[in-house]
Amino acid sequence: MALATKSGRNTARPPAAAPTRGFWASTIGKKTVMAASGLIMLAYLVAHVTGNLKVFFGPEEFNGYGHWLRVMGAPVLHHQWGLWIARIVLLTAVVAHAVSAYQLSRRDIKARPTAYVHRRKGASYATRTMRWGGVVLGLFIVWHVLDLTTGTVHAGGFEEGRPYQNVIDTFSTWYGNVIYIVAMLAVGLHVRHGFWSAAQTLGIGNARRERALTFLANALALVLTAGFIAVPVGVMTGVVS
C-alpha cells in the first residue's frame, strides 16, 4: 500500500469534490454515454456506406435508394418520418458523444497538469488522435450536410432528389475530394480505437475476447474507410460518371 507521507499542508489536501454515486457525475457514466452514442453512430455508418456503394450501380438505382429513404417505414410512417427519426437519433448521439468527450477531456487534462521532461513515444496513433480526430469529424459532418443534404455550399447546381449528380459534382472538385478523403481516414482511425474502447467501457471486453474485438475494430475501420473512399475514387477514375 502506498505510504501516507506525513508533511505539512500537502497531506491535509482534501479531495477536490465530494464523492457521488451519480451516473452522469461519474467518469465511467460519461464514458458509457460516449460508448453507447458512438456505437449508434457506428451502426449508422455501416448502413451509410452500404447505401453509398449503390452509386456504382448507376443513377437509377442510387436515386431510387435516395427516394426510398424518404418513404422508409411506409405505410406505417408518414413521408420522411423515418428519415427524421433517424436524424433526431443521430443528432442526439452526436451531441451526447461530443458533450461527454469534451467534459472528460477537460477533466483528463486537469488530472495531468505537469508533463514529463523526458518525453517518450506514447500510445498508438489512433489512440492519440481521438480528440482532435473527433473535432475534425464534427467539422466534416457540418460541411457534409451543407454540401449534400441542404446544398448550401454545394459546387455546381444542387438538385434535390438527384443525389447521383450531386455526388459527382462534389467529387469533381479537388477540395471536395481532399476534405472527404482526409475525413474518411480520420473515421477509420477513430473507429479503430473507438469501437474497441466502447467494448471495454461497456464491460464486454475481456482477455478471451481480446483478439476477436481487435480484429472486429480493425475490420470495421478498414471496411468503412475503403467503402467511403471508393466513391470519390470512382468519380475521379470515371467509373462513376
Cβ closer to another protein: 52 or 197? Answer: 197
What is the smallest separation between the CB atom of 1 and another protein, expressed in angstroms?
5
Residue 73 backbone dihedrals phi, psi, to 5 degrees: 85, 0
- Alpha-carbon gap, residue 52 to 68, rounded angstroms: 14
The cell numbers describing 182, all together, are 482526409
Residues 75-104: x/- map of binding to another protein (CB under 8 A)?
-----------------------------x
The residue within the footprint of another protein, chosen from 75, 76, 113, 175 (CB under 8 A), is 113
The cell numbers describing 154, all together, are 454545394
The residue within the footprint of another protein, chosen from 64, 138, 156, 203 (CB under 8 A), is 203
Of 44-52, 116-124, 152-160, 177-185, which part binds another protein (CB under 8 A)? 116-124
Helix (H, G, I), strand (E, B) or coil at 172: coil
Q: Which residues contact 189 (CB under 8 A, 6 or more apart)?
A: 125, 126, 129, 133, 221
Helix (H, G, I), strand (E, B) or coil at 155: coil
Per CB under 8 A, 130 contacts another protein? yes
- What is the 8-class DSSP label of residue 56? G
What is the smallest separation between the CB atom of 195 and another protein, expressed in angstroms?
11
What is the smallest separation between the CB atom of 104 and another protein, expressed in angstroms?
5
Q: How many residues sit in the footprint of another protein (CB under 8 A)?
A: 59
Per CB under 8 A, 197 contacts another protein? yes
Per CB under 8 A, 206 contacts another protein? yes
What is the smallest separation between the CB atom of 107 and another protein, expressed in angstroms?
6
Residue 204 backbone dihedrals phi, psi, to 5 degrees: -85, -30
Residues 9-48: x/- map of binding to another protein (CB under 8 A)?
xxx-x-xxxxxxx-x-xxxxxxxx----------------
Helix (H, G, I), strand (E, B) or coil at 208: coil
What is the smallest separation between the CB atom of 103 and another protein, expressed in angstroms?
9
Per CB under 8 A, 215 contacts another protein? no
Per CB under 8 A, 1 contacts another protein? yes
Alpha helix positions (H), the chain: 8-11, 27-52, 59-71, 81-111, 125-128, 130-148, 163-170, 174-201, 210-237
From 175, 185, 169, select the one nearest 224 (Cα to Cα).
185
Instruction: State the amino acid at position 11 in one-letter form.
Output: T
Cα separation values, 219 from 29, 38, 118, 187, Å: 28, 17, 35, 13
The residue within the footprint of another protein, chosen from 59, 73, 205, 227 (CB under 8 A), is 205
Residues in touch with another protein (CB under 8 A): 1-5, 7-11, 13, 15-21, 23, 25-32, 104, 107-120, 122-123, 127, 130, 193, 196-197, 199-207, 210
